[in-house]
Amino acid sequence: MENINKTYEELRQNEKNFYEMQGFSVDIKAHFYYDESNNCRKFSLKHKDGKGKFNVDPFEDFILAGVVDLNDMQISFEELSQILELQNNAVEIKFKNHFSYGTFLKCMNRRRVGSLLKWIDKNNLFIHYTHVNNFYYAIVEIIDSTMTITDMDEMGFNYFSVKSTFYEMLLQNKEFVQELMYKYEFPNVKRERNAEFLTDILRLFPRRNELTSEQKFITGMLNKAKQNEELVFINDNTDLVMQENYQEFYFDHPRKYLNSRHTFDEETQIVSDSEDKDFSFLGIKLENVEYVNSKSNVLAQVSDVIAGLLGKLMVYINDSDRNTIRTDVDNLTDIQLENISLLGRLRMKSCLYNKGFLMSVTAISVIKKMDFLFELCEAKYLKTIS
Residues of the chain by 3-state class (helix, strand, coil), percent to 5: 55, 15, 35
Q: CA of 260: how far to CAs of 25, 67, 153, 155, 164, in Å? A: 12, 13, 37, 41, 33
Q: Per DSSP, which regions of 106-175 are E strands?
A: 126-132
Instruction: Judge residue 374's burial from the number of C-beta atoms within 10 Å of its C-beta, 0-12 exposed, 13-18 middle, 19 or more buried.
Output: middle
Q: State residue 31 phi and psi, 5-degree precision.
A: -125, 110
Contact 251, 225 (CB under 8 A): no
Ranges 2-6, 207-211, 307-311, 321-325: which has the least confidence: 2-6
pLDDT in the model for residue 1: 41
Instruction: Judge residue 197's burial from the number of C-beta atoms within 10 Å of its C-beta, 0-12 exposed, 13-18 middle, 19 or more buried.
Output: buried
To 5 degrees, how large is the angle CA 292–CA 297–CA 301? 100
The pairing of beta strand 31-37 with beta strand 62-69: antiparallel
Instruction: Judge residue 226's burial from the number of C-beta atoms within 10 Å of its C-beta, 0-12 exposed, 13-18 middle, 19 or more buried.
Output: middle
CA distance 339 to 334: 9
CA distance 267 to 275: 11
Query: Would you place residue 281 in the very low, low, confident or very high pLDDT band (cuts 50, 70, 90)?
Result: low
CA distance 269 to 275: 9
pLDDT digits (tens, 9 = 90+) for 66-82: 999 999 888 889 999 99
CA distance 284 to 186: 34
CA distance 132 to 65: 12
Length of the chain: 386
pLDDT digits (tens, 9 = 90+) for 20-63: 777 788 889 999 999 999 999 899 999 877 788 999 999 999 99
Nearest Cα to Cα of residue 256 among 101, 72, 130, 164: 130
Ranges 17-21, 66-70, 190-194: which has the least confidence: 17-21
pLDDT digits (tens, 9 = 90+) for 311-343: 999 999 999 999 999 999 999 999 999 999 999
pLDDT in the model for residue 10: 74
pLDDT digits (tens, 9 = 90+) for 341-361: 999 999 999 999 999 999 999
Nearest Cα to Cα of residue 304 among 364, 261, 263, 355: 263
Q: Which residue pairs, CB below 8 angstroms and at least 24 apart, start in 168-177? A: 168/363, 168/365, 169/204, 169/205, 169/215, 169/218, 170/135, 170/139, 170/201, 170/204, 171/135, 173/204, 174/58, 174/135, 176/204, 177/139, 177/204
CA distance 28 to 259: 6
Contact 56, 325 (CB under 8 A): no
Q: Is the dihedral of CA 64, 70, 72, 76 positive or negative?
A: negative
* pLDDT over 60 (residue 273): no
Predicted TM-score (pTM) of this structure: 0.92
Helix axis angle, 134-146 to 159-171, nearest 10°:
120
